[in-house]
Structure formats: C-alpha cells, structure tokens
Structure 1
C-alpha cells in the first residue's frame, strides 16, 4: 500500500451506515448502554441526533440510490420486475445492482463517492475502490480480483487483525448456536435455523470486521470520501425482531468498529476527517404472513387468480418463506454461491404469467396483459377478502392512488390518515411517496402492503422484523452529524429541521466535499433567520496553524472558525511565507476558506517571512490604524506587540470599530501595552458614542492589572451574560486559563457565548476560540 506524502488541504468524510436501526431503537440502545461510544459523541463531541427519513420504499437500494445519486425511489422495492428487460431483480445480486446503477448514472453526472471507497453497499457509487458491494460479488469479479500471493502477503502483514477477526467469529458462532436452539424451542423452522448460523457469522462478524479493516486502511491512504455499511443489526432484526436482545447485542460490536474508525480518522497524518453516522431506515416488528394465515402467500394468490380474467394463468413467485430477511441470500453471494432459484417456478415469463415479487412487507403484482378497471377492482377485493392482504394500492388515471384495506377504500394522498394512521411522524411525505411509488416505471399493476395502522403489520416472508413499506418505524432512521456540518444544512435546507432524507444527505455531502459550487451564505437573513442587527464575533490564537498533533493545517483552523459562522474574527500568531509553516500565507488561505475579506499586520519581518495578527470579516472594513504597541527588545527576548484597528460597515447601514491585539508574556510589558492601547493614540481618541469591540490574546487573566482599564471602560462578554460560567481558553488540551478576551462597549448586548470544546478545536491550536453573539443597539 502506497501512503501519500505531505498533508491534504481539505478534510475527508467517512460515512458509516448502520443498516436498519430505527431512531426509536437507536435511542433505546443508547439508554441501555449498547452504544457507549456513540453516546459519548452525543454527550461530549458536538454531534447531534436527527431523524433520517428513508422515503418509500424504505429499503437500502432505494435509500442509497437517493443518497449516492440524488434520485428518489431508484427502485420500487428490494425485489421487482424490471419491465424493460423482463427480469426479476433482487438487489443484492450483482446483475440487478449493475443494471439499476447504470440507469442511475445516466440520470446524474457525478456519483457521490467519486474518487472514494464503497464497502458493503448496494451500489459502487463511482468509487475508485469497492469491496463487498453487490456488483463485487459477481463470480467474474471475484475471479478477476483473486491474487493468492497478494492475499498471502496481506495475511502475514495483518496477522494480528486476522486473528482478532477469527476470535470474534468463533465467539459469534457459539452465540449463534445458542440462538438457533432458542429458535427451535420457539418452533421456528429447523432448516432455516441451521442455515442462519454460518450466514450470521459471515454477515454480522466477518463482513463487519472486513469493512472496518478496509476503512482503517483508507484513512491511512487519505481517501477523500468513504462509505461503509454495517449490516449486522439489520440481519438479526429480520430474524428475531428489531427489539430483540440478539439484535441489540450486535450493536456493541458495531459501536466498537465505529469507535476505531473515528479515532483513526481523528489521528490521520495526511488528512483530517469528519464522520457522519446514519441508518438508512428502521424496521417494524412484524408477524409473518404464513404464521398468521397458515399458508404461504403464493398459495393464497394462486387461489385469488384461479378465477376471473387470470383463470388458468400461472402465478410466478420466488418463494422465500423459509428465509428470514435476506441474510442467507447475502451469505450465498459473499461465499460465491449462485443465487438461490430453487424455490422459483422456473424462469419468469411476464407475457404469460402473473408475476409476484414480495420480498418483505411490500409486494408488486404484474399482469401479463392490461385489465379493465372493473377487473382490477375485483382482484383488489379478493386480495383483501380471500388472501388477507392488509393493504392494496392501485394507481388512478388522475394521478392519485386508490388504497383499500379491511375498513374501506381511500384516496392517497388526501386520506393519508385513514391508510397510514394519523400519528405517523411523516404522514404527508409518506403519502406522497406512496403515490410516486405506485407510478414508478417498474412498479406492479397492483401494489400490496403488510401495513396496518390499527394492528401489528405483516411481512410476506417468514421474518419477525421487516422494512420496505410506509410504517412509522421503518421510514424513520437516525442521523448523527457533527454540529459544524449540521449548521450548514439547517440554514440551506429548511425541511431538514424536521427530518433529513437521502437527497438532503446527498447535498450535504457534496457541499462538504466542495462539489456543489455553493459558497457559504453571507447575509444575516440567509443564515438561520438571525436578528437584524445581531453580530457574531470571535477571537482565536491560531498558533501558526500548528496543532497539538504538530500538523500545520490552515484549513483545519478555518473549519474551527466556520463552525461558529462568525461575522468578524480576530486571530493572533499568524504566519506568512515562513519556512517553519511550509511557506503558506496563512491569513490568505484562511480568508479563502471562510470566503471573507481580511487585513494582516506583521509584528515580525525578515526578508519574505512575516508573523503577526489578522482580522477576517464578512462585512466591508476599512483599516483605521495598525502598528506596534511596544517594539521588540532582543536583549530581553521580547517580541514586538501591536494591534489592528478597523471600522466595519454592516449591511444594515450601521458601523462599529473592531480592534485586535496580542499582548506580551512579561507583566511589565503587558501593562505598557494596555496603557498605549487605551491611550490617546488608540482607543482614547474614540468618542464615547462610537460602538467598539476589542478582541485578542491578552496573556492576562480577568483580575490582572493589565485588564483593569479595559474592564472599567468596556463590558467583558463572559461576565455580563446572565447564568454564564466563564470559559477558559488556554490550553486547548486542558483549558485552565482565561487569557483570550472580548470586550465590548455599552452599545452592545451579549446574547450568547459559544462552547468551543470540539475534537477539532482541541487539536487545531494550543488555544480554544472565544465566540460571542452580540446585538448592536
């Protein structure tokens, strides 16, 4: 593996999908201690939990199509008839995934994972490197990638990790055997219980560890964007139900894998990484159709279509009643076996057979010829009465959908509450998505669903947990997102205040990767509805952009600043063309990342090398004065210290003065610098009617003599905010000292103080930033 040299200017993004974990079950797992690391991220690391809306169908190939390509309802289900080819698709099969991804590519110029990596996903999404995705499991692809010598060398190099994987697999095998006996005791089918044991070990442990290992390697390689899907919980939930202890047990291993990935990204040498964690959908606790009705769905549908216009027409259905979820199917793919077609009634013939696809709680019925409205209505009635299907959907010519259940016939989207239940968290959006689903080019002539708003839903295979339909749990996953990323999407995508869906996440990621061409918003109106004359100000000693990890990263400093979305920023210890900081003009680089104007004043100059302080501003500014407060004294090892004074003009026609300074280390020189800055040549010349903000690293505590004059004339923002406990800013690793300050004149009120303790802020400099929200009266 060839490692990159130097350091990347832009951060990377790691996206981890926990397949099938609803927000309800996520919160339950947090409360029970099954996700300790994710709980820590929420409590301490500036991550926020949001609701992720899957859309309908609530299944991975549809959701990933929306995330990776920005296309809603890429498929009408996990299994469906592809009308153009006449083939029945199952989306974990290589051929099916390839066909649909080609169609998605034709509708979108750049897939989301371009130049990145894709692991255990349905789609490759343009990634340069992929493993364990549906298309990777084609026999020809497996043979093409086979390289015994390479695998032998890797096995020797990573022997400890492989032994760890083997140990975890052995432990899971023992647990799986115990679980199988529990299933037999509960009168589950013996064959499916035995088949699930090796399938569970491969899918839930070996695949998880392989994805974890690959992502760790990618972090070392500095890959810009990585997406990995962890399947274990989803597969266990299909078998035992989403609330089961065995399903929640798998979350502990997933949590550890995410912990390792997060820490590796946090300590990456080449590139900084942000992490997004989400679930593509949830699961409903379901009753299998066969268990409730005493016969398979295929037998019931054969009875329904034995009379009427389809009398004498064969019903084709891939009967997977003794498979729980798609674990065994995934297992067959992973170990290179051909797809299971033994239960199918031969090759489907759409021109002469009724084709039924029902892999989950949502199914499609395709007729070999068009039927009249009356004929379709007759079959809708029989599906409810004879087959006991909870919900049948039929598209109408006026663009609406007729929805029939045991209580009557309703119209979607207008009567969504009668079909879905009035308490559904995404009622209107789900109703509209159901309508769109029924008009999908590959949808059936009739769509059947196990959803029942007044009782436990059904799933057509033998599974105790299911998803694909419109249920309140299966459509509601979660999104765990860093606050810095969250701030942008809440400002730019208003609907995400209530939920984030796949197309939103697509836009969020593209913006983070600088692929959308959208600049940071600059007007107060566009940045979250802020008050008309509110201002966000910051002071930050950036330590020449040298972090505690010794990495020189101006872009990382810009990310810390940008997290708070300030209007004006005072920074100290800024390098310009210095050899020690790779020759960067740091003020210019940071200003470009922030999309702000800036001024810089050097306190040290030697040939091209300079070192000093700077101000960044969203608003136009005019330099009033910049210069030294005290000169350098080489005999006493004292640096020159100075200040920058600008006048800022806001969009509302108001103006204020802003000063940035950096005091020295010696007590005597700080007293002298304070006296000069408050004297007639600087602040003393300002009339009392002029609003002013003074910011900087004063190297002095709030009770020091050097600050007494500032505290008499100005307000210390950390002291005047009711209920606020002042925040120390030095050092960033163990903040103990309050030496960075913001002073404001009486023209300002202090509305809030930002909390700067995020992982990136702690690492980017030896100081933490100080941020305040102000209102100019």
Structure 2
C-alpha cells in the first residue's frame, strides 16, 4: 500500500531543503570573505555584522535563482560538450552563476578575477554538496517529482492507459547467482529490497552461460535470440584482418546486424520497447546509452543524448555530481587501504580507473535508472536496462568484499526506486532481475607466473619474447561506455591500442578474461591441429602442460574438434571419446562439453582456444587480463548467472532437474513472458505475500502461455546445445521466427 504524504508536509520538506542550501551558501560566503584578503562583501569603511550577513544572504539567494532559471539554457547551449565532461562542469557552471550573482547584488565589495573564480568554485561546491546530499538521501522526493512530470506528459498527450501489464528487465551486470544469494541472506542482507522480493513475490533461478561468458555474447543472445559466432569478448577475423571487439560501437553494431540477419527478427524489444545502457538495442525504438548506435551520426541516435536529457535538470546534475566525487574519493581510499593491508591478489587501480569506476557506479547508473523510471511512468510495454557498476568494481576488487558490497547496496536502492515508481505507472508492471554472467576470482596469469599468455605463445612458436611482461588492458564494459560518452575514437586494432604483428607468420594472441585466443593470420580458415604441430611442434604441449592452463580447443583433421589437457589427455567432442587418464573438461562442470562443442563450430573460432585452469576447492581462475575478478571462459562462478522472476509469470523451467543453458534459451523465456503479459493480462489471481506458492491460474492458461500445451522443450535442439527436458519432447518453435520479421524498426532516443 502506497502512503501519500499530505500536501503541507511535502511543501514543508521542500521549503526546509531550500532554506538549508541557502543557509550553507550564506555561511560559506561569510567564511571566504573573512579568510581571503582579496575578497570582501563590505564597504571600504566597513559594515556592521548584520549588514554583512544580509549582503551574503542576498548573494546566495540570487545565486540560487540564477541556477534555477539559467541552468537549462546553459546545458542546451553546451550540447556539443562530451557528456562526461558536462557532468564534471557542474561545479564550474554553478560557480559562473555565482559570480554573476555577486555582480547583481548592491554594494558587493570587490574581488580580483582569480579570487572571484576561487570564491565561485567554493560557493558552488558548498551549495551543490548540501543540495546533493539532501537529494541523495531523499529518494522519495526524487521519485515523486518524476511521477508528476510523467503525469503531465500523459495528460498533454491524452493517452489512454493500457490494460495489460508491462515488464521491466534489469540486468545486474556480472553478478553471479551464488554472490547474489549471499547478498540476500542473513539478518541484515546487503540487498534488502531484493531479499524481500525473493521471500514474497519472486523466484530465483540459476542459468548457465555459453563458453563465452561475457556481456557481448550473453546480451546479444538475450536481446536478439542468437549469439552464434561470438567466440569471445574479442577475436581476430582473418578475412578482414581486423579484431572484432564486442564493446566497441562498430563491433556492437556489426554483431547486432549479423544477429538480425540470422534470426529475421529485430529483437526482444521491437514492440513498444526501450533499451537503456545496453550494448545492443534489442529492436527497441526508444534508446538511450546503447552502444550499437553510438557510432551513428544524428541527433536522435548519438549515445550521449540520454546524458543530456538527464543533466538538463539541475537537480539531477547536482545529485549525480556530488555522488560522483564521493565515489571518486571512496575508490582512492579503498585502494590505499588495500595497498596498506597488502591484499592479494591485487591489480593497479590508479590512472583513469577511479574516474571509470565513478562513471559506472554513479553517472551511468543514475542516467539509466532515471530513463527506466521515465519509461515506467510513460507506460512502455517492455524495458531492458543494464547496470554495469558491480561488474566494473569486481574486476578490480574481486567478486566479494567491502568494495563490491557497497556497490550492491547502491544497486538495491536503484531497484527500489524503479519498483516504487511502478506505483505511479499507468499500467501494472512485472520486475525481472537477471545477470548476463558471474565472475570468478583469482590472481591474474601474469602476476602468478611472471609472463603473459602472449609471451608463452611466442616462446612456443620460437618467436622473440619481450624482455618485460606487458599487461593486457582490462576490457570491462564501463570503459567503452565512458569512451562513448566522451565521444572518444575507438582504440587501435589490438585490445590495448597497439598494432597487430608485423610479420604475417607471427601469432595474434587476444584475451577475454580467462579465455585466450591464438590465431595465425597467414593461414586462411581454421588452422588444423596437424598443421600447427608441423609448424610449431612444441607449442600445443607447452600450452597444455602449463600449470596455469586448463585446456586447449583445436580442430583435428582426423577427429574434428578436440580438447587437449595436461598429460596428453584429450576429449574428442564429436564422439565424446576421452583419451588419457582423465577428462580435461571434468573440472569445468557438466555442461562444459556441450558449450565448447558449440563454440568449436563457429566460423570465427580461433586456431587455438585457451582456457585457464580452475582451482577445484575455490573455483579461482587466472585471467589473461589484469583482473582479479574475471569472466569470459569456463571455470568457477563466472558461468552461473541468475534470473529473478515474479511468481505471476510462469517458471523459467518446469522442474528442479531442468536448467537453462545458454543466453538463447533465456531469450525464449523472456519472449514467453512478454507473450503472457499480452495475452493473459490480469487473469491470474494474486499470490499471497510470503507464501512462496506458485501462482493460481485459470484452467488452460499454461497451454496458452507456452503455446504448445507443454509438449515441447524450450531451447532444445541445435548442435552442441544442451536440452532442458526429457529427450522424448521436441524443440519448441522459435518465437522470434513465429513473430516474423515485421517492419524495420527505427532508432530514436527519448
């Protein structure tokens, strides 16, 4: 039940906030006037304390009025400024308005230009910090203001509220199933909002990722129904001589184009959908911060448009700017404490990383959440949003610990904001939380063994190795989003901006978390195991027997795809034969053979696919990038993602023995839920709070929802794809193909 505050209490709270900001600004001006010799707010002969205080109060008041009236005009005039820079300019612009306020008040005294800039910056910081602190703590006021704005837009448009429920999908990037469960347990759970949902209205279901356990492959499969030929986060394509990277704008756009071409369908969100903060559009017409359209030119498709829509509101700008700098200082403090304690493993957290972290955990989060709340209040049928903060921090701090717990608390508050905004929505909403993959902890390969994967490959090929091991830059999603926000050009052909090998015979070695890819550019197509052994007899054994490597995938002319492990152990995937003392895939879970076999058939699978080892007791892996929390391959918790779905929707699987394997199967489940909301509406009865029972439905609803009366297996079939049910049931028709291609979907930004 929603509690509505009386109008006088809401008005009183707003007045108190205004008075608090005004008082702090006045006191700050008085302190600066007393401490800076070149700044005064008194007449040359001196004024009484009362007169001086009144002058300071007038200056602070004029400054507040100018901020409310002039700020939107300033932001509109600065549309060409990169979005992240615009967020940092909040203090400077407020300071300029304060300088103007000092000019307008009578008998203002005098100040040198340099001193005026200092005073303006200090006043701006004080007022922004006060208003930002109050705004950050008052989520209710923030939500009510957005609700009022949305209600005005609906009244102006004269739109009739839809009767069927909508669905909001919120992706918590990189949050594994087991880490989430830990965050929901205990007397004081880290994520109390999500914990309450799990106890009362939602069910938690794990799902297994593909071998490429990273956002590019998972989100492409979830949103577009196909992630075929996405072998890793980055890979080398021999026919073009280029490295494809999933989180570059051009790479994301090309992968989305290929997926649409394969499926003949524009995506999960093609019908009145919105895509927020994602790599791909999912066919949505309403886009904000979507990387696959960031490379396009035009006012409606630039990725930064969502930032401008958010920062044009001074309250949003202040709220986010204060939180941004607080997060910046928090990261610096946490990094210093980790170094003082001697935490191991540890990676470098200097340079631009504190800014990237603050961008991911504050700026992008706030903009995406505000966009989702706007979508809910405007009654969109389907919304899919990605919150990347946890994934970014876990790469540098590990999947567990104080740093990531703070991020999870902030994400929980964001989810609470979205859930409460649904109280004001013109239609009922189902809130679905999910992740695209988990993260596995462990010491980076270079730190553990003193050399990189590239050094090891070059040594096995007899190619000179660099004297000093060079780190492989992290490929986290937040870095690409920040570059797009800054409108920076993409990096060079290799992941760290370097050049590809000058000699064609030299190998191209790329990293995707704990998954490595080795390609020989001078050999067209997939180089066979026999050809590799003929050219570099020591290479495969040097890799397979290294203690930091778990297995290799190569293609044999005689046996087809073969997994090679230490001690001459092999797993021949086509027939399932194991040669040697043990199966090299055994430590990687029951679905390892299926997902590796599927990847082996991709056209752009590398000549040698290298997966790091996994510790049997801890699940730790060795990332080939500079990450202590990684994903991209197999091993540990990175392959175990989650779905948290309402009991009002059908269960993702029909029994505890079944399990979703692969992002394409998750896509089918989400498709089914969208069909349910369109066809069943509100026919299901309400589930009693806290019972944990399955929803009571009218007879025949299950068959109507599934469209097959329970006679088929969703996601079953296809080479190398695990089935999720009894073998005597046939695969279901692909709903993406059932829906048809439809009309081309345009891309616009709300």
TM-score (norm 2): 0.63
Q: Secondary structure at the match of 2:583?
A: helix
2:260 matched to 1:105?
Answer: yes
Q: In the alignment, which residue of structure 1 is the partner of 2:413?
A: 256
Once the two structures are TM-superposed, the CA of residue 52 in structure 1 deviates from its matched residue by 1.8
Picking from 254, 264, 268, the partner of 2:425 is 268
2:595 maps to which residue?
A: 433
Residues 689-768 of structure 1 correspond to what in structure 2 (within 5 A)?
none
Whose helix fraction is larger, Structure 1's or Structure 2's? 2
Match of residue 402 from structure 1: 562
Q: Take 1:102 and 1:89, find their aligned partners in 2: how far apart are those partners? A: 14
5 Å matches for 1:260-409?
260-269=417-426, 271-306=427-462, 321-323=472-474, 325=476, 327-341=478-492, 343-347=496-500, 352-367=505-520, 368-369=522-523, 373-377=529-533, 378=537, 379-385=539-545, 389-397=549-557, 401-409=561-569
Greater share of strand residues, 1 or 2?
A: 1
For the 8 Å contact 2:649–2:676, the answer to whether it is kept is no
Matched, 1:218 2:360: no
Provide the residue aligned with 2:622 in structure 1: 458
RMSD: 3.7
Counterpart CA distance in 2 for 1:248 and 1:264 is: 24
Distance 1:222 1:323, change over 3 A: same
Other-structure match for 1:138: 295
1:384-408 Cα deviation digits (max 9, x unpaired)? 3579543211133467532223343
Q: Distance in 1 between matches of 2:299 and 2:547?
A: 42
- Gap change, CA 1:183 and 1:400, over 3 Å in 2: farther
Tell me if structure 2 keeps the 8 A contact 1:284–1:474.
Answer: yes
Distance in 2 between the 1:53 and 1:189 partners?
28
Q: 1:261 to 1:300 in 2, by over 3 A?
A: same
Counterpart-to-counterpart distance in 2, 1:482 and 1:146: 31
Q: Distance in 1 between matches of 2:184 and 2:616?
A: 29
* CA deviations over 1:735-771 (Å, ceiling 9, x no partner): xxxxxxxxxxxxxxxxxxxxxxxxxxxxxxxxxxxxx
Partner of 1:556: 682
Distance 2:259 2:502 in 1: 26
Mapping 1:219-258, distance limit 5 Å: 219-258=376-415
Q: Deviations over 1:113-133 (max 9, x none)?
A: 113111221211111122222
Query: Counterparts of 1:137-176 in structure 2 under 5 Å?
Result: 137-138=294-295, 140=297, 145=302, 155=311, 158-176=313-331
Aligned match for 1:503, one of 659, 664, 667: 664
Is the Cα contact below 8 Å between 1:238 and 1:463 reproduced in 2? yes
Judged with a 3 Å threshold, the aligned counterparts in structure 2 of structure 1 residues 403 and 289 are, in CA distance, closer, same or farther, namely same
Deviation at 1:81, TM superposition (A): 1.5
Aligned to 1:699: none
Spell out, residue by residue over 1:175-218, the C-alpha distance to the aligned partner (whole angstroms, 9 max, x if none): 11112323544489997423211010001111111110000011
Residue 223 of structure 1: how far off its partner (Å): 1.2
Seen in structure 2, the aligned counterparts of structure 1 residues 258 and 444 have a Cα distance that, compared at 3 Å, is same
Partner of 1:93: 248
Structure-1 separation of matches of 2:626 and 2:705: 54
Aligned CA distance change for structure 1 residues 109 and 284 (closer, same or farther; 3 Å): same
Query: Which sits farther off after the overlay, 325-334 or 58-67?
Result: 325-334
Residues 517, 609 of structure 2: 8 Å contact kept: yes
Q: Which runs of 5+ in 1 are unaligned?
A: 521-554, 569-589, 596-617, 619-777
Aligned match of 2:230: 75
Which residue of 1 is the match for residue 82 of structure 2? none
Answer yes or no: is 1:419 the counterpart of 2:576.
no
Q: Once the 2 structures are TM-superposed, how far is the Cα of residue 505 of structure 1 from its aligned partner? A: 2.6
Q: Conserved in 2, the CA contact under 8 Å of 1:23 and 1:478?
A: yes
Distance in 2 between residues matched to 1:499 and 1:300, nearest whole Å: 36
Aligned twin of 1:631: none
In 2, Cα distance between the equivalents of 1:380 and 1:146?
43
**Based on CA coordinates, which of the two structures has the bigger radius of gyration?**
1
SS at match of 2:255: helix
Considering Cα pairs closer than 8 Å and 6+ residues apart, tell me whether 1 or 2 has the greater RCO.
2
Give the structure 1 partner of residue 173 of structure 2.
Answer: 19
